Amino acid sequence: MKLKPKLIIILSSIFFLTLLLDFYLGNLYFEKYFRFAKIKSLEKIDFISNGRLDLDRLTQYKFSKNTDVILLNKYTNKFVKQSDFTYFILKNTQQKNTIFLSPYINKVFLQNKFSLNKNEKITVKAIKIFNNYLMAYEIEKKDETIKDFDINLNKNKTVTLSGEIYTMPHKGLETANEFLELYPYLDLTAIQNRSVELKDKRRFQLITKDIDRFKVLIFYKFKPVNEIFPMLKLYFAMKIGLLILVTVFLGFLIEKLIIKPIVSLANNTNKIGSFNHNFSLNYSSNDEISYLYRNIKRMTEKLESIIYFYKKENQDNIKSKIEFENELKLFMHEIKTPLSAIIGFTDLFLEKNESENIKIVNEEGRRILRLANELIHKKNVTNQISLNKEIFNIAELTDLILKIYENELQNLKVIFSSQNIFVHADKEKIKQVIINLLSNAIEHANSLISIDIDDSIEGKIKFTIENDGEKLSATNLNNIWKKYYSTKNSHGRGLGLYITSEIIKLHENIYGVDLTENGIAFYFYLNKNE
């Protein structure tokens, strides 16, 4: 398939699938996730703490979540805020009862189509709620009767009372009165978190909880998605159609401005693959593609010479590496015999006479012998280094190394303030690192070497060796850590700083080099023993 139709199909598919997914996820969000998130939000009650009700927080909760909250004393089943409802108190021969008006009666009452006055005699048919709370579904006075015709009646909970109105009707909140619609259908005394759908398809979320001395009834009315976003489906349908047209147009535009030049460039790259450098440029615009054409032409002119140079350089490097490793292994093999003799003589001497200098010679001889054995058995001199971490005093180790190099340092001033600083690392490998850096400093220093161990860093120490020798160029600074790179031309093998960097990397720490006012400073970090 050609690039242009393929591009149009890909773009159209992406836009189409994205919009379908957008439409599906949008409906899923509002139908599922939004409800789930809303319910979780409603369950986070913060207006009751240590048995006390915070009215300000209750008001903020109701306002922020657009819901209604009814509070009962769970021991007496009395409403904490009866004033939220539209109610009056009826006095009969036996007792006083609080009468809540059912939603339909309440609506007619609020529209002043039906009036109730104090001391007026009435007959009430009602549903029992809690204690002396009743919800009226029919009120009769003199020759006037009003009835809620859409209420679910349970004869076990209905009563008929006659008496006088003891208090004037109090007009409550519309949302609280709407809450009364759930009473005939549900057992509000049970602990629950459920969705309720009424006959008229309205849906409510009812959450009932016992918190301290309160029974909390949370009542949230969900709005249908189609009511909130009536044009959502039409919007997505129009969006899909429009973007498909835009995609097709963009496909043709992209073909003319980008695809054709790319196809031409692809044809020319076939010639490059066969090392044919003679091809013409047929692109007139002065843009990035034209710049690419010219660069490819320039690249092909140098390609053969670069390939030739690279092959020769690579062969030389491999040959040099093999020769070096063979020479090093041969040297290490030859050095084992005199090393063993030195270690044996120093062992005999130490048995008769304890000497710090002889002890250092013995330890260093054993270390060199161990390194010699490791190198002889390695397939590659620079293969992976393994660590054997322990806790040791790095300042003490540095003093020992300075003692070993006392002769080489006799014409140099060494500044080092020794103090007990313990680290967690491979002691032998860090010893090798310090020796590599110190040897490098001795070789380049004019008159001064400064060693500093900074333990003020949290969890780390910074070890720095600075010398006042000649400063390196930017090129050398970027390459000195590379394997086989040396600033000493043929006199160096370029492994000391490379091995140093590999050891610090294995310790998962940082190393580096800085040009200072006095010369050059090499540094590395290690973990403290904490």
> 144 and 113 in contact (C-beta within 8 Å)?
no
pLDDT of residue 166: 92
pLDDT digits (tens, 9 = 90+) for 106-161: 888 888 888 888 999 999 998 888 777 888 989 999 888 898 876 667 677 788 89
Q: Which residue has the higher pLDDT, 157 or 236?
A: 157
Kindly state whether residues 487 and 422 are assigned to the same domain.
Answer: yes
pLDDT winner (highest mean) among 151-155, 175-179, 209-213, 357-361: 209-213
Kindly state whether residues 62 and 133 are assigned to the same domain.
Answer: yes
Q: Is residue 523 part of a domain?
A: yes
pLDDT digits (tens, 9 = 90+) for 17-57: 777 777 676 666 666 667 788 888 888 898 998 888 998 99
Contacts of 181 (CB under 8 A, 6+ apart): 102, 103, 198
Q: Is residue 130 part of a domain?
A: yes
**274 backbone dihedrals φ, ψ, rounded to 5°:** -100, 15
Kindly state whether residues 436 and 451 are assigned to the same domain.
Answer: yes
Structural domains of the chain, count: 4
Q: Is residue 103 part of a domain?
A: yes
Given pLDDT bands bounded at 50, 70 and 90, which one contains residue 490?
very low
Kindly state whether residues 161 and 180 are assigned to the same domain.
Answer: yes
User: Would you state the structure tokens that stand for residue 46, as one six-digit string?
Assistant: 């913060």
Angstrom distance (rounded) from CA 133 to CA 152: 17
Q: What does the pLDDT average to over 205-234?
A: 76
Q: Is residue 271 part of a domain?
A: no
Kindly state whether residues 224 and 103 are assigned to the same domain.
Answer: yes
Q: Is residue 447 part of a domain?
A: yes
Does residue 459 register a pLDDT over 60? yes
**90 backbone dihedrals φ, ψ, rounded to 5°:** -105, 130
Kindly state whether residues 120 and 174 are assigned to the same domain.
Answer: yes
Kindly state whether residues 221 and 335 are assigned to the same domain.
Answer: no
pLDDT of residue 499: 87
> 69 and 58 in contact (C-beta within 8 Å)?
yes
Amino acid in the structure at residue 319: K
Q: Which of 403, 390, 470, 474 is nearest to 434 (CA)?
A: 403
Kindly state whether residues 36 and 57 are assigned to the same domain.
Answer: no
Kindly state whether residues 318 and 247 are assigned to the same domain.
Answer: no
> 72 and 215 in contact (C-beta within 8 Å)?
yes
Predicted structure pTM score? 0.40
Q: Which of 360, 383, 406 is the last residue of a domain?
A: 383
Kindly state whether residues 328 and 428 are assigned to the same domain.
Answer: no
Q: Is residue 126 part of a domain?
A: yes
DSSP string, 356-416: HHHHHHHHHHHHHHHHHHHHHH-SSTTSPPP--EEEEEHHHHHHHHHHHTTTTTTTSEEEE
Give the CATH number of the domain where residue 473 resides: 3.30.565.10
Q: Which residue has the higher pLDDT, 355 or 397?
A: 397
> 439 and 489 in contact (C-beta within 8 Å)?
no
> 110 and 246 in contact (C-beta within 8 Å)?
no
pLDDT of residue 224: 63
* SS3 state at 216: strand
Kindly state whether residues 76 and 215 are assigned to the same domain.
Answer: yes
Task: Give me the residues paired with residue 73 across strands.
Answer: 78, 214
- On the CB side of 4, how many CA atoms lie within 13 Å of its CA? 15
User: Would you state the structure tokens that stand for residue 189, as one six-digit string?
Assistant: 């005394």
pLDDT digits (tens, 9 = 90+) for 366-413: 777 777 776 666 655 545 567 889 999 999 999 988 988 888 898 999
| 8-state DSSP, 154 | -
Kindly state whether residues 412 and 475 are assigned to the same domain.
Answer: yes
Q: Is residue 48 part of a domain?
A: no
Percent of the chain surpassing pLDDT 90: 19
Neighbours of 383 (CB within 10 A): 8
Given pLDDT bands bounded at 50, 70 and 90, which one contains residue 1?
low
Domain boundaries, position 394: 388-527
Q: Is residue 272 part of a domain?
A: no
